Chain A
Amino acid sequence: MSLDHLYQQIILDHSKARHGSGLAGTQAPDGATTGQSHQLNPVCGDEVTLRLAVTDGKVAQIAWDGAGCSISMASASVLTDLAEGMTVAELHEVINSFREVLRSRGKITADPELLGDAAAFEGVARYAARVKCAMISWVAAEDALNQAA
């Protein structure tokens, strides 16, 4: 397995761009219901605090603070781009699909129609030690979504 299969261009780009990063500087939209979740991976110290705002049954905004490896930071950034505008049910479906791909040890291929840029994390599934890095913000989003919706 080549390193470039794991660190796809999209992942390297998003690990720098970090869309949605910066909780303190982002106000949740007026009238939205919000949920917030803090997730920590004790193995490597990766940490994400993610707030998710829902308006009229749709994800209005994701904002997060995090520290961690490029996989975990890119994954939070991609999630932010993907989730905003989705219905609660759609985001649940996407999170479940993402989890299924990542836990498959490479047996299940990602559906780019459903997962968009997040399909780039398909290669992570072959690196068991890195699956949690890719999942951490998604676990936070699921938790926050359950609070908000």
Chain B
Amino acid sequence: MAVVSTPATLERALPVMDNAEVQRIRNDFPILDQLVNGRPLVYLDSGATSQNPLSVIEAEQEFYEQRNAAVHRGAHHLAVEATEAFEDARQTVADFISADYSEIIWTSNATEGLNLLSYALSNAGLWAAHGRGDARLKDLALNPGDEIVVTEMEHHANLIPWQELAFRTGASLRYIPVDDAGGLRMDVAGDIVNARTRVLAFTHASNVLGTINPVRELTALGRSAGALVVLDACQSAPHMPLDVKELDVDFAVFSGHKMLAPTGIGVLYGKQDILDILPPFLTGGSMITTVTMERAEYLPAPQRFEAGTQRISQAVALAAAANYLTETGLDRVHRWEAELGQRMITGLESLPGIRVLGPAAGQDRIGLAAFDVEGVHAHDVGQFLDSRGIAVRVGHHCAQPLHRRLGLTATTRASAYLYNTTDDVDQFLDAVSGVRAYFRA
């Protein structure tokens, strides 16, 4: 007899992750099995870059051993194989975020995706001014008096491209401030996002605070203002289910290297109807239909935004990473990491002289915690932890304005992933408890 599973029963059927499962997962990550300074490596820096499972490493190797060729050209066997692998990868990654195939643009990383978008938008203004391209481009153009809105907790990658777009177009940049606890000031967001707002760009989850932002509420503000809504999904796509259609954002970016894939590959998602009219940023080979000595006609998306020979093996590897995450179950990963995040913050809050940034224990946070140790600089904290084999990130985490807002210049951040155990967190906490004594703070 066939058993039909509804999503709800399927959800119940999925066992929650535990340390035993994580131990099995760790077998897929050879890099984790090593000694650092005589101690077993405790890798808690996945928020900066994650490690690759064997299936990802092998996917890239298999591509180079069996199928490497330039894509979208040439009639030979390898060129066909490479193109299929490359475009299959696009479909896999589209499915991963519930997007359509032609809405996935390969980039080097999220930073490039946001720069691509911001330059395409200034090109939209230029094209509209010259009557070039689709008549709707004038709606995408930014002009003096228009506003771009970001938040005070953004990574520099989702701030500086918008500063520069404002500079190029004469638009103004505004931001939704954070409160002392690091939460977005939603009480004033409705005033800051208004009829002048052309772009609203914000992070799904903060790489410093661990906060998960109210995407639907923010998107609704953007919609009612008639703005483009841009989501930085760098800290969400790797760690929780992401459905760009359900969230209804216009654009989203994320980086492969933060989600078990190699460096050099990332994704810009864009809604089809906007991508169809948006001018390109980089131009050259592989993105044209007809070229004369005077001008060129461009391919539709996604090829219009993928000039030059692409990162083919990395795209194949990113698809393998997406498959690994899907097979493990991102709902389960999210819940496990939330548990690790709570364990971190509960432990850190119990230590004297430690100030944890972001939501307090018991409130929603992703599996990371950034903190300040009274009397000890973050660099020294990181060095001390490294001597015990524990890898964390120190510095401003590419969020100087947020640190300045919180009265800090540098913090220490531990960030977990699906391959971290509760023991990893406990070892980290034990090491942090010794920091102030060592530096006599």
In the bound assembly, the distance between CA atoms of A1 and B387 in angstroms comes to: 8
B161 interface residue (CB < 8 Å to A): no
In the bound assembly, the distance between CA atoms of A12 and B436 in angstroms comes to: 12
- Interface footprint category on B: 10 to 19
A107 interface residue (CB < 8 Å to B): no
B383 interface residue (CB < 8 Å to A): yes
User: A6 CB to closest chain B CB, in angstroms?
Assistant: 7
Q: Which of B190-198, B359-367, B373-381 is the interface stretch?
A: B373-381
Is B440 a contact of A44 with CB atoms below 8 Å? no
In the bound assembly, the distance between CA atoms of A16 and B410 in angstroms comes to: 19
Q: Residue on B with the closest CB to A6?
A: B383
User: B168 CB to closest chain A CB, in angstroms?
Assistant: 24
In the bound assembly, the distance between CA atoms of A70 and B436 in angstroms comes to: 12
B347 interface residue (CB < 8 Å to A): no
Other 5 A-B pairs with CB < 8 A, given A7-B380, A16-B440: A12-B439, A15-B439, A45-B400, A67-B409, A69-B377
Chain B 342-384, CB-CB to A under 8 Å as 1, else 0, gives: 0000000000000000000000000000000000111110011
Q: A43-B395, A45-B396, A67-B409 are in contact. Are A1 and B383 (CB under 8 A)?
A: no
Is B383 a contact of A68 with CB atoms below 8 Å? no
Is B379 a contact of A130 with CB atoms below 8 Å? yes
In the bound assembly, the distance between CA atoms of A40 and B201 in angstroms comes to: 30
Chain A 16-57, CB-CB to B under 8 Å as 1, else 0, gives: 100000000000000000000000000111110000000000
B37 interface residue (CB < 8 Å to A): yes
Is A44 a contact of B384 with CB atoms below 8 Å? no
User: A18 CB to closest chain B CB, in angstroms?
Assistant: 13
Is A68 a contact of B377 with CB atoms below 8 Å? yes
Q: Residue on B with the closest CB to A68?
A: B377
Partner of A45, one of B380, B384, B410, B439: B410
Partner of B378, one of A3, A44, A47: A44
A133 interface residue (CB < 8 Å to B): yes
Chain B 375-417, CB-CB to A under 8 Å as 1, else 0, gives: 0111110011001000000111000100000000110000000
Q: Residue on A with the closest CB to B375?
A: A16
Is A71 a contact of B379 with CB atoms below 8 Å? yes
In the bound assembly, the distance between CA atoms of A47 and B379 in angstroms comes to: 13
Is A45 a contact of B395 with CB atoms below 8 Å? yes
In the bound assembly, the distance between CA atoms of A14 and B410 in angstroms comes to: 21
In the bound assembly, the distance between CA atoms of A127 and B395 in angstroms comes to: 17
User: B436 CB to closest chain A CB, in angstroms?
Assistant: 12
Give 9 pairs: A residue, B residue, CB < 8 Å, sorted on A.
A6-B383, A7-B383, A12-B440, A45-B396, A45-B400, A46-B379, A47-B409, A69-B377, A133-B379
Is B387 a contact of A2 with CB atoms below 8 Å? yes
Question: In the assembled complex, which residues on chain A have CB atoms less than 8 Å from the CB atom of B395?
Answer: 43-45
Q: How many residues of A contact B (CB 8 A)?
A: 21
Chain A 95-138, CB-CB to B under 8 Å as 1, else 0, gives: 00000000000000000000000000000000100100100000
Interface majority SS on B: helix, strand, loop or mixed?
mixed
Q: Residue on A with the closest CB to B386?
A: A3
User: A90 CB to closest chain B CB, in angstroms?
Assistant: 31
Q: A16-B440, A44-B395 are in contact. Are A69 and B37 (CB under 8 A)?
A: no
Q: A3-B383, A71-B379 are in contact. Are A45 and B440 (CB under 8 A)?
A: no
Question: In the assembled complex, which residues on chain A have CB atoms less than 8 Å from the CB atom of B396?
Answer: 45
Question: In the assembled complex, which residues on chain A have CB atoms less than 8 Å from the CB atom of B377?
Answer: 44, 68-70
Question: In the assembled complex, which residues on chain B have CB atoms less than 8 Å from the CB atom of A44?
Answer: 377-379, 394-395, 410
Question: In the assembled complex, which residues on chain B have CB atoms less than 8 Å from the CB atom of A69?
Answer: 377-380
Q: Residue on A with the closest CB to B387?
A: A3
Question: In the assembled complex, which residues on chain B have CB atoms less than 8 Å from the CB atom of A2?
Answer: 387
Q: Residue on A with the closest CB to B394?
A: A44
Q: Residue on B with the closest CB to A1?
A: B37
In the bound assembly, the distance between CA atoms of A15 and B383 in angstroms comes to: 15
User: B393 CB to closest chain A CB, in angstroms?
Assistant: 11
Question: In the assembled complex, which residues on chain B have CB atoms less than 8 Å from the CB atom of A68?
Answer: 377, 379
Scoring A1, A70, A127 by chain B CB atoms within 10 A of each residue's CB, the highest score goes to A70
In the bound assembly, the distance between CA atoms of A3 and B390 in angstroms comes to: 13
Is B440 a contact of A130 with CB atoms below 8 Å? no
Is A45 a contact of B387 with CB atoms below 8 Å? no
Chain B 27-38, CB-CB to A under 8 Å as 1, else 0, gives: 000000000010
Is B383 a contact of A127 with CB atoms below 8 Å? yes
Is B383 a contact of A45 with CB atoms below 8 Å? no
Is A70 a contact of B439 with CB atoms below 8 Å? yes
Question: In the assembled complex, which residues on chain A have CB atoms less than 8 Å from the CB atom of B376?
Answer: 70
In the bound assembly, the distance between CA atoms of A130 and B378 in angstroms comes to: 12
In the bound assembly, the distance between CA atoms of A70 and B384 in angstroms comes to: 12
User: B51 CB to closest chain A CB, in angstroms?
Assistant: 20
Q: Residue on A with the closest CB to B379?
A: A69
Within 8 A of B (CB), among A51-91: 67-71
In the bound assembly, the distance between CA atoms of A83 and B387 in angstroms comes to: 32
Question: In the assembled complex, which residues on chain B have CB atoms less than 8 Å from the CB atom of A45?
Answer: 395-396, 400, 409-410
Q: Residue on B with the closest CB to A67?
A: B409
The 6 lowest CB-CB distance pairs between A and B, nearest first, are A69-B377, A69-B379, A45-B409, A3-B387, A45-B410, A70-B380
Question: In the assembled complex, which residues on chain B have CB atoms less than 8 Å from the CB atom of A70?
Answer: 376-377, 380, 439
